[in-house]
Every structure is written in structure tokens, then in C-alpha cells.
Structure 1
Amino acid sequence: MSTSLSGIIPPLVTPFTADGEIDEAAFRAQVRFMLQKGVHGVCVGGSTGEGHTLSTEELTRLVAISCEEVDGAVPVVAGIIVNSTRDAIAKAKAMAHLPVAALQVTPVHYVFKPDEDATLAHFRTLAGETQVPIVIYNVVPWNYLSPSLLVRIMKEIDSVIGVKQSAGDLKLMADLLNEQVPGKLVFTAVDALLYPSFALGAHGTIAANPAAVPGVTVALWNAVQAGDHPRALEIHRSLLTFWNTINGDNLPGCVKHSLSRQGCEVGVPRQPMPAATEAQKARIDAALREVLRYEASPTTAAAE
């Protein structure tokens, strides 16, 4: 089983039917689509996967399917988006029998913001109840953890192996990378700035762009790792134009449309999230045609 986390790890979307049920066949096909594009791992139950809408049973089933489909070829990361330590533990324990490489766990996301000691205690308690490594998913706008707090948590809790840094502030990403906590990982979810994130030393990405155009983000990763920065900058410019067409309050719906245009049918969002509008679809389609020119070939991706 592959457990090494690095490179392009798309957060899978969750295919829903019109009545809000999970389409398992479509989900399996999506995992196979991602593997064909040369990704280095998959993440289940993230924000792009509408993980906040999934029951414990649904999340566990999707993680199990992912583990079956990848069959050890790449690591599987399981997302936990909940509002209490108790619920985080319950989800982690429900997946304890599965070969998961890491848990991607948010700070709590409701109105009330715990102080730093309470946040540290949240992750410490969770770590004490699971054997699975933890990646902090730093995404909640009103509970956004500072680089200093993230470093403190990583230093004090051995099984917190890294951070997925979201939002658009590349300075905070750079500060976090500059700390260079030994043995810890920093993943970027700064979708607009994946290229500079990679160039600064991010260990990979778990973000919406990889979910929407996995082959293109693999090509970007490969270019940076090879030191081909002119090529990487060219891909970045096209990828940024594409990102600007899918970025919005219905981001998962826009990612689903992008995948459908590549022959990967993944259903509709779960209510109340709307699907991509006709105007969004038109903008996405135009940008998608351009950005897919940079897609890594399956042969090249598989060699990385």
C-alpha cells in the first residue's frame, strides 16, 4: 500500500443523483479517471467533495470504495469536516479498518472560535484516539490558524504530519514553509498560485484545480520538479484563467461540470448547492479547451 504523501492529490467530488443519493458507479469511474491522469493520491470527503454533507456511513463507504479502486497504487486521504472533537473521533474510528494514509481534518467551522489551547487540545485528543496520521485542513475563514499555531501543533503532536494551507494568502504559505518543521508536510490549496507554491517547496496540493483538471496539474508539478520554469509559468497562466471560471460559491458544481466535459460523469451537487449555471458553463468550456492543451500524457504522468 502506498502511504507516501506528495504531489497531486485531487479531492474527489461526490457524485449525487437528482434525489441526493450517492452514485457509487460514477464515483468508482472517477477514481479510475484520476489514476489514468497520473495523480499521486486521492482525497475523499473534502470541501470539493461536499464532505460537510456526508454522514459517517456515507464517508466511510466512499473511502472504502476509493481504497478498493486504487488497490494500493496511491495513498487515500479521508476528509473530516465536523464541529466537535467527539464527532471527529467517531468518523476516524468508523474508518479505522480501512488502509487510509492520512486524515484531513478541519478546525471547527461553526460561529464560535476556540482559543489556541482549545484548538491544540482538539487535535491532541483526536490524535490519541486514532492511529492514522493527521493533516490539518486550514480552511475555515473565521477560524483560520496562524503559521505559529500550526507549527506549535505539528511540533507538539507527532501524528499531526502536516498542513493543507488554503485561502489565497501566499505570504502565509511562505511563512509556514519557511519554518521547515522537520518531517512535516505542507500542502497548498492556494488554487490560483499552485506554481509559486510548488516553487517555494510545497510538498504537493490537495485542491479544486487538481480535481477539475488533474492531468494539467500533474503537468505543472512535473515541470516544477524538473526545473522547467518557463513551461511551468506557461501552464500557470492558462490554469489561472481556468481557475477564475470555476471559483465561486458553487465550486463543487463547477468542478463537476469540468469533469463531465472530459468524459467523467459525476452527477449534480447535493441540495442546496446549485449546479453550474449556463453562463458559468460557457466560461468554463472556453477556458477548459485551452488549459487541457497542457495535460500530461498518461505515459509521462505514469513515469513520474
Structure 2
Amino acid sequence: MNAPQSTTMLHGCGTAIVTPFTVSGAIDEAALRALVEWQVVAGVHMVVPCGSTGEAATLTPAEHRRVVEITVEQVNGRIPVVAGAGSNDTQRAIAMSREMRAIGATHLLQVTPMYNKPPQRALIAHFRAIADACDLPIVLYNVPGRTAVNMEAATTLTLAQDPRFVAVKEASGNLSQMTTIIRERPSGFAVLSGDDSFTLALMAHGGEGVISVVSNVAPARMVALCEAMSRQELPLARQLDAALAPLVDACFVESNPIPAKAMLAMMGRVQDVVRAPLVPLADALRASVRDVLVQASLLS
């Protein structure tokens, strides 16, 4: 299958979608299809399978391929599919990237290598090697809280000069770093927040949107926030952001995606199953998380 090549700048709300599992631990294909369809109908601007939220670290290569394959089939060309294909082994990332292209992903999400702690020049070499081996546009992913390495603004900007790198998902938590990238990037390179709580601030500084966790449970609301910011309707965006804040907080009361899966299970959309070493949401937190959903009119 030839993957479609998009020249449209990535923008708006992308959902870092959870991977639903059955009680036995297998991929719940029906739940995944329904979840993807709900996201598309709700207006999200891209779907991002097999990232951190999708528990990619515990998927087998065959499962990883199947999750992206189902997502591509269900999306059916309506919005971009930004497939996670990262690894701390460059050759493994290359092999996975080629797989993602073969099954129809439109973009790759490439995270900085975890555990190895490569220096900045090694990050550049790693990402360029992937781009040389696979011709899909690449979204860089900087999440030092998970990888133990921060991709500095200068490194992102160096890669951004190459048109094969089309965006960065910035989850450093460092607004100064994000705004430096926004200010100095070349035309056509998108800056997307990797943290829901930074969406309004990043877009106020000129960023394009967010790859979101909370949009798993409230896709239309995060879409509305991104679109209000795109229209520069700041008072409305502030109202939407304030209304979303309790949901954002609830999504991170424990390690992502534990709370998001618990919330989706309460909503009847997935089973409350995560893979070890993750465990389901602590019992002591369930009532407060449920209350947030009720207050947000997402659960009766």
C-alpha cells in the first residue's frame, strides 16, 4: 500500500489514542475501531496510535502493526494517522517506520531514544537515519519525563530545516523552550503541545495545537479549544480551557494512560485493562475521577 503524502501543515487536536485490550489481554479490535470512529466524528484533526498513551512499549511488533492497520482502515483517509514508530535502537525504529508506511500511516511519530541518553548530535543522527530510510513525514517527539533526554530547541530547529521533519510534539514542560522553537522555526514546521495543560499557552504563542490525552474522553471539547485558539477567540478559549482543566487533572492522577483507560471504561467505551508493569487505577482515586466525569456531563 502506498501511504498518502500530505502537504498540509499538521494542526489542531490530535488524539494520542489508547490501545483497548480485552479482559484476556488481547487487542480489543472492535473497541479500537469504535474509539477511532468516535474521534473522527467528533472532529479531531489527526489520530496518533501507538505512542506513550497507546502503551506501545508493551505491544509486540505484530500487535503494533495491527493497531495501526486498524486505525488506518477505520480512518479511511479522512484525517492523518501519525503512527508511533520510535525506538531506542535506530535500526529497529527504521524497520518499524517502514512497516508503518507499508500499512498506510500518513506520518511517523519518532520519540527521542529512551535509556541510551544520546547527546544532541546523536539525536540528529538518529532522526536523519530514519528519514533517509523511510519517506514518510516525521513528527519529532520530545518527552524527557519518559526518555531521560531533552531535545534542546537548537536540535529541534536544526532538524526543522529539513522538510522531512514536519512537526514536533513538545512535552518538555518548558514553555521557554517551546516558544523559542515557535519563534525561530522555518515556515511549514508545526509545533504541537505534548501536554494538554499547555495547549492554550502554546497556541497563544503561535503553536498549531496539541497531541492530546484528554481528547480520548472528550474529543469534541479539545477540538473546540484548538479551533477557538486558531480563530484567536481568546475569551472563548479561556472558558473552554477552564472547563477542561478538571478532566486534564483527572487524566494524570496516575501515570498515563491508567486514568484515561479507567475513565473510558466508566463511559463504557473500553475495558479497564492496562499491561504490566502498569496497573489499573487505584481504588482510592476512582470515586473522584468518576465525579469529574459526572461534573463534565460525560457520565450520569
**TM-score normalised to structure 2 length:** 0.91
Q: Secondary structure at the match of 2:21?
A: coil
1:95 aligns to 2:127 (yes or no): no
Distance apart, 1:292 and its partner CA: 4.9
Partner of 2:142: 138
The amino acid across from 1:75 in the alignment is: P
Superposed CA RMSD: 1.8
How many Å separate the matches in 1 of 2:70 and 2:271? 15
Q: Confirm or deny: 8 A CA contact 1:134 1:162 kept in the other structure.
A: yes
Partner of 2:118: 114
Q: Confirm or deny: 8 A CA contact 1:27 1:266 kept in the other structure.
A: no
Distance apart, 1:263 and its partner CA: 3.6
% same residue: 32
Q: Secondary structure at the match of 1:152?
A: helix
The amino acid across from 2:118 in the alignment is: P
Q: Secondary structure at the match of 2:15?
A: coil
Partner of 2:236: 231
Could you list the per-position Cα deviations for residues 236-271 of structure 1 after superposition, in whole angstroms to 9, with x for gaps in the alignment? Answer: 122222222221443212111222333422441112
User: Please, which runs of 5 or more residues in structure 2 have no aligned partner?
Assistant: none
Structure 1 pair 2–149 and aligned structure 2 pair: CA distance change class (3 A): closer
Could you list the per-position Cα deviations for residues 136-175 of structure 1 after superposition, in whole angstroms to 9, with x for gaps in the alignment? Answer: 11013321111111101222x3311121001322222111
**TM-score normalised to structure 1 length:** 0.90
Q: Confirm or deny: 8 A CA contact 1:187 1:206 kept in the other structure.
A: yes
Structure 1 pair 262–231 and aligned structure 2 pair: CA distance change class (3 A): farther
Partner of 1:152: 158
How many Å separate the matches in 2 of 1:55 and 1:144? 27
How many Å separate the matches in 2 of 1:100 and 1:132? 8
Distance apart, 1:282 and its partner CA: 1.8
How many Å separate the matches in 1 of 2:183 and 2:293? 34
Distance apart, 1:81 and its partner CA: 3.2
Q: Confirm or deny: 8 A CA contact 1:44 1:78 kept in the other structure.
A: yes
Partner of 1:256: 261
How many Å separate the matches in 2 of 1:249 and 1:191? 15
Q: Confirm or deny: 8 A CA contact 2:23 2:271 kept in the other structure.
A: no
| Range with greater deviation from structure 2 (263-272 or 80-89) | 263-272
The amino acid across from 1:122 in the alignment is: H
Q: Which has the higher contact order (CA 8 A, sep 6+)?
A: 1
User: Please, which runs of 5 or more residues in structure 1 have no aligned partner?
Assistant: 294-304
Q: Secondary structure at the match of 1:158?
A: coil
How many Å separate the matches in 2 of 1:70 and 1:266? 22
4+ residue runs over 6 A deviation: none
